[in-house]
Amino acid sequence: MKARNMGTVVWLTGLSGAGKSTVAASLERYLTGLDLRAYVLDGDKLRAGLCSDLGFSDSDRQENMRRAGEAARMLVDAGVIVIAALISPFSSDRAGVRQRFGAGEFHEVYCACPLAVCERRDVKGLYRAARAGRIPLFTGITSPYEVPTDADLVLHTAVETVEESTIRLNAFLRARGALPMAIDDAALAA
């Protein structure tokens, strides 16, 4: 029998290549291994499906965030731990999504990683293409990223391992009462 859990959303924000999707997948694997209902809303997957009709203008980015926030809202209402991994470049859009959730349901986590490190990690070649002018409006290069000034948690993904970031995130969620049971951090490293 699956454990019943309260829904919550962990909103991972940061530049492309900052480690959002990697940390999200790690946390999801861990939580589902404990029979908790968890699901990753990944920005790339949303852009390939639900948001495939959107470009990268400011208004399209706002609509992308609105749709992602609504999808997260529905999953949280169903009792799912949602791990949203989206660049979400504008602070006003992140604040707008936060407003859709009740107290203790939304946790903004900034994956802090210097641009130079993100560019080194760029397996898709997106930063190179943006610097060469082949991708207009690329966040961090030709389109702004507004660093969170009030994130609930900051993960330093340039210096922390995925396991360290996942352990810190897990401890944060437990401290916030967002997880329904005590979870052993040592099991994360196993």
Beta strands in 57-161 (DSSP E): 81-85, 106-112, 153-156
| Residue 91 annotated in active site | no
The set of residues, in sequence order, having a beta carbon less than 8 Å from that of 170 and lying 6+ positions away, is 27, 30, 179, 183, 185, 188
Cα dihedral 150, 151, 157, 159, rounded to 10, equals 50
88 and 148 in contact (C-beta within 8 Å)? no
What is the length of the chain? Answer: 190
What single-letter DSSP state applies at residue 41?
Answer: E
Q: Exactly one of 16, 21, 26, 88 is catalytic; which is it? A: 88
Please list the active-site residues. Answer: 88
